[in-house]
Amino acid sequence: MKRMLLAILFACGHSSPVVASEIEFGTILVCDSQQQAEAVAERARGGAEMTEAVAAVNDAFHSRNACGPAELFYLRGDAPAVFTNSHQKFEVAKVLVLGDVNYQWLPSFYYAVIDTYERRA
């Protein structure tokens, strides 16, 4: 818990592009880089299922773990890219991951693909 509080203090005082108003919790798709996250969002916008989009991007980047879903505590920053089609809107946002449900992660920056229509439900 002490690490979590230090991470929050660090995030609030850090001059990074992650500017958040609240800590969020949930299952999100995280990627190591913005390029990977945008590639997943682009494939999903084109009609691919999310699991297919993630598998294709992981293959393209020669990594089984470049992108994947995780249940996390995180602070969401601005969305530098938005991908839409007639029934979906995906934001690619830089996130500061504070920890997982077991508090196993140290604070780290990743890029998340967030279905904003799903978030409004």
Q: What's the pLDDT tens digit per position in 27-77?
A: 999 999 999 999 999 998 888 888 999 999 999 999 999 999 999 999 999
pLDDT one-digit tens code per residue, 69-112: 999 999 999 877 888 877 788 889 999 999 888 877 678 899 99
pLDDT band at 21 (very low <50, low <70, confident <90, very high): low
Best CA proximity match to 75, nearest among 95, 94, 93: 95
Cβ atoms of 60 and 31 within 8 Å: the answer is no
The token pair that represents 50 in the structure block: 């999310």
Cβ-based burial of 100 (10 A; exposed 0-12, middle 13-18, buried ≥19): middle
- Which residue did the predictor score with more confidence, 12 or 94? 94
Give the global pTM. 0.75
